[in-house]
């Protein structure tokens, strides 16, 4: 075992790629027997940059100085992916896999540590097969989660999928890193509802749940993308949804008791009826006279408006929810509402796969276990009032999330979590503020929040990847367990150990690696 790994590194170091042409020619030569037209793109092709940027959701990584792949290959079927893996392994070429391209640090299409590299863009693999009788759906990784929702709703008005809020997310990265959405308090996250998967290992073999075994199937349900293999498709469980659901969007400013109301939300949000998911979007805005904080309660209730009002009046009267705020609709319409589409946008918009959010951004996450006092909240407002203000999204936990044991899948944020915080700062190149101003304010806020959030570890959501938390050594091939634990324990708590053990067994040469891939035991 040890000697074969050594031999692998030794061979890698011998590969004479002096130029990208070398990689392009070698890879082209190796895959030529299966190559289909318009699936192989080099930087000389006029289609190269448009393709590279077509699913690069964080514009921070679309600048001229961003490290770019030497080529992009777009498989049309699983044989193409298998061949790409076999050839890359043989030639010592480093691969990055991209499904929806929403990675917060862009690591599915750029690399700060590994050039040269090749992007395997899976956007052409987007078949979705709904099995209503079997209560399940098989979705290829390049499908957006919105496409999955659309095809499920086409088949049934009373079945849904508990997955992401943003509809342009790729099935590949979303499910593999967890995948929460507005039904998580009732049904858990997408990875909790995964029934099977197809994965290609470093030998180019295609495996399903049975042939990969329960350890690997455990690891890929939340252990994060790009560590174990190339996922080809996921089978997800369909869950019942009422024919009529209710949504609302109500905003309270500081002048409307936002602070007191949010204080109460922290106490009830996680224990209220699990059919209700009311997240809060918090930002500083210029009010009519003074700058103020707006707290917008953006919610889905799996039931009718009267029943919802009965619950909020009893458990959360401070919100002052009124009948006029409540909009009844079908589940698929609620998907569009929560994702932020204008009212009456037809569901077919989901088939365009277009992202609704396209910015340069930096984000971080936290998990809260005890309510933050009103004084604590006022400290947050102070930081939000600074110029390059980030916004926050507070997302309630509890319900089903508290019932699932921490070690059930790698995603460990369960019992005791009241809510998750996401901090986001966005900017445009033309704005007067610089990237470092924005990143500076978000870091200041994150530092201030340390006293109010989970500790030892300070937990973070792997699908909100944050390279500030730490990175693998070059090629991720020699990172110590202790060093990787700095970020690994935050994303996975004690599940990190098991992930490392499974990784070491399943991908002993660390073929699937990136800045924060699960390392192998040295």
Ligand X SMILES: *[C@@H]1O[C@H](CO)[C@@H](O)[C@H](O)[C@H]1NC(C)=O
Ligand Y SMILES: Cc1cc2nc3c(=O)[nH]c(=O)nc-3n(C[C@H](O)[C@H](O)[C@H](O)COP(=O)(O)OP(=O)(O)OC[C@H]3O[C@@H](n4cnc5c(N)ncnc54)[C@H](O)[C@@H]3O)c2cc1C
Indicate which residue of 187, 423, 464, 491 is catalytic.
464
Please select the residue that binds ligand X; options are 44, 46, 428, 456, rule is CB under 6 A.
44
> 244: exposed, middle or buried (C-beta count within 10 Å: 0-12, 13-18, 19+)?
middle
Active site annotation includes 464: yes
Please identify which residue in 172, 204, 223, 412 interacts with ligand Y, judged by CB under 6 A.
172
Q: Which of 36, 47, 127, 322 binds ligand X (CB under 6 A)?
A: 36
Contact partners, residue 190, CB within 8 Å, separation at least 6: 145, 161, 162, 163, 164, 174, 175, 178, 179, 180, 181, 236
* One character per residue 62-81, x = contact with ligand X (rule: CB under 6 A): ---------------xxxx-
Judged by CB under 6 A, how many residues of this single chain contact ligand Y?
Answer: 35
146 touches, from ligand Y, ligand X, none (C-beta below 5 to 8 Å by class): none
Phi-psi region of 345 (alpha: psi -120 to 50; beta: other; left: phi over 0): beta
In whole angstroms, give the CA distance from residue 123 to residue 119. Answer: 11
Query: Taking a C-beta distance cutoff of 8 angstroms, is the pair 389, 286 a contact?
Result: no
Among 13, 290, 375, 432, binds ligand X (CB under 6 A): 290
**Which residue, chain included where needed, has tokens 């989660």?**
145
> Which span (5-13, 44-52, 168-176, 443-451) binds ligand Y, by CB under 6 A?
168-176
Residue from 70, 103, 333, 366 in contact with ligand Y (CB under 6 A): 103
Minimum CB distance to ligand Y, residue 89 (Å): 15
CB count in 10 Å sphere of residue 100:
27
Q: Within 308-367, which residues bind ligand X (CB under 6 A)?
A: none
Three-state secondary structure call for residue 86: helix
The encoded tokens of residue 166 equal 């943003």
- Choices 8-16, 167-175, 210-218, 264-272 (CB under 6 A): range interacting with ligand Y: 167-175
Applying CB under 6 A, does 49 fall inside the site for ligand X? Answer: no
Asked if the peptide bond before residue 116 counts as cis, ω within 30 degrees of 0, the response is yes
Q: List b or e across 465-482, with b for residues whose CB sees 16 or more CB atoms inside 10 angstroms.
A: bbbebbbbeebbbebeee
Q: Does the N-terminal peptide bond of residue 32 adopt cis geometry, omega within 30 degrees of 0?
A: no
Length of the chain: 522
Q: Are residues 237 and 275 in contact, defined by beta-carbon separation less than 8 angstroms?
A: no
Q: Does the protein bind ligand X through residue 255 (CB under 6 A)?
A: yes
Scanning 158-166, 288-296, 367-375, 495-503 for contacts with ligand Y by CB under 6 A, the matching segment is: 158-166
From CA 31, how far away is CA 167, in angstroms rounded? 33
Residue 231 interacts with which of ligand Y, ligand X, none, CB < 5 to 8 Å by class: ligand Y
Q: Which does 77 bind (CB under 5 to 8 A by kind): ligand X, ligand Y, none?
A: ligand X
Contact 284, 292 (CB under 8 A): yes
Q: Residue 123 class from Cβ within 10 Å (0-12 exposed, 13-18 middle, 19+ buried)? A: buried
By the rule CB under 6 A, 166 interacts with ligand Y: yes
Identified binder of ligand X from the candidate list 257, 443, 501, 509, rule CB under 6 A: 257
Minimum CB distance to ligand Y smaller for 167 or for 294: 167
Options 116, 170, 223, 347; binder of ligand Y; rule CB under 6 A: 170
With both helix axes pointing from N to C terminus, report the angle between 258-268 and 374-384 in degrees, rounded to the nearest 10.
Answer: 120
Q: How many residues bind ligand X (CB under 6 A)?
A: 13
178 is an interface residue for ligand Y by CB under 6 A = yes
Give Dmax over CA atoms of the chain in angstroms.
Answer: 71
Contact between 424 and ligand Y by CB under 6 A: the answer reads no
* C-alpha to C-alpha distances, 186 to 64, 180, 200, 271, 276, nearest whole angstrom: 44, 11, 32, 12, 8
* Smallest distance from ligand X to CB 83, Å: 9
Q: Work out how close the CB of 162 gets to ligand Y at its nearest, in angstroms, rounded to a whole number.
A: 11
C-beta closer to ligand X: residue 44 or 430: 44
- Please report how close the Cβ of residue 202 comes to ligand Y at its closest, in angstroms: 12
- The contact mask relative to ligand X for 471-510 (x = CB under 6 A, - = no) is -------x--------------------------------
Q: Which residues bind ligand Y (CB under 6 A)?
A: 57, 96-104, 107-108, 122, 141, 164-166, 169-170, 172-174, 176-181, 225-226, 230-231, 357, 463, 514
Q: Which residues bind ligand X (CB under 6 A)?
A: 34, 36, 44, 77-80, 255-257, 289-290, 478
Which residues are known catalytic residues? 464
């Amino acid at each position: 075992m040890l000697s074969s790994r050594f031999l692998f590194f030794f061979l890698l170091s011998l590969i004479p790629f002096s130029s990208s042409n070398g990689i392009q020619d070698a890879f082209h030569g190796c895959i030529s027997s299966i190559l289909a037209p318009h699936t192989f793109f080099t930087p000389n092709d006029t289609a190269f940059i448009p393709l590279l940027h077509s699913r690069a959701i964080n514009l921070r990584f679309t600048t001229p100085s961003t490290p770019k792949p030497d080529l992009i290959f777009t498989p049309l079927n699983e044989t193409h992916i298998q061949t790409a893996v076999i050839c890359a392994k043989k030639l010592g070429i480093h691969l990055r896999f991209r499904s929806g391209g929403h990675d917060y640090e862009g690591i599915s299409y750029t690399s700060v540590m590994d050039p040269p590299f090749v992007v395997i863009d899976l956007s052409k693999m987007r078949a979705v097969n709904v099995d209503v009788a079997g209560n399940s759906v098989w979705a290829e990784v390049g499908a957006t989660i919105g496409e999955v929702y659309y095809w499920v709703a086409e088949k049934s008005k009373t079945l849904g999928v508990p997955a992401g809020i943003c509809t342009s997310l790729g099935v590949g990265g979303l499910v593999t890193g967890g995948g929460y959405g507005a039904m998580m308090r009732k049904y858990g996250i997408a990875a909790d509802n995964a029934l099977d998967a197809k994965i290609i290992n470093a030998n180019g073999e295609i495996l399903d749940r049975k042939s990969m075994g329960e350890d690997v199937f455990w690891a890929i349900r939340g252990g994060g993308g790009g560590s174990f293999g190339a996922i080809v498709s996921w089978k997800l469980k369909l869950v019942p949804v009422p024919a009529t659901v209710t949504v609302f969007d109500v905003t309270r400013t500081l002048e409307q008791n936002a602070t007191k109301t949010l204080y109460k939300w922290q106490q009830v949000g996680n224990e209220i009826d699990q059919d209700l998911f009311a997240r809060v979007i918090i930002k500083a805005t210029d009010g009519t006279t003074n700058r103020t904080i707006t707290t917008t309660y953006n919610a889905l209730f799996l039931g009718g408006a009267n029943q919802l009002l009965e619950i909020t009046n009893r458990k959360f009267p401070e919100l002052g929810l009124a009948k006029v705020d409540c909009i009844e609709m079908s589940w698929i319409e609620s998907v569009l509402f929560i994702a932020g589409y204008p009212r009456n946008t037809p569901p077919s918009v989901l088939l365009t796969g277009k992202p609704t959010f396209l910015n340069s951004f930096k984000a971080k996450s936290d998990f809260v276990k005890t309510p933050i006092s009103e004084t604590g909240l006022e400290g947050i407002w102070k930081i939000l009032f600074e110029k390059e203000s980030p916004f926050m999204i507070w997302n309630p936990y509890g319900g089903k999330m508290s019932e699932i044991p921490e070690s059930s899948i790698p995603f460990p944020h369960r019992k005791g979590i009241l809510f998750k915080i996401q901090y986001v700062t966005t900017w445009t190149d033309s704005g007067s503020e610089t990237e470092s101003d924005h990143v500076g304010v978000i870091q200041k806020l994150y530092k201030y929040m340390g006293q109010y959030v989970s500790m030892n570890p300070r937990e973070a959501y792997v699908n909100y990847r944050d390279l500030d938390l730490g990175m693998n050594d070059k090629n991720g091939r020699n990172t110590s367990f202790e060093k990787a634990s700095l970020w690994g324990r935050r994303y996975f708590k004690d599940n990190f150990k098991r992930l490392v053990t499974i990784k070491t067994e399943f991908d002993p040469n660390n073929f699937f690696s990136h800045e924060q891939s699960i390392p192998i035991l040295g």
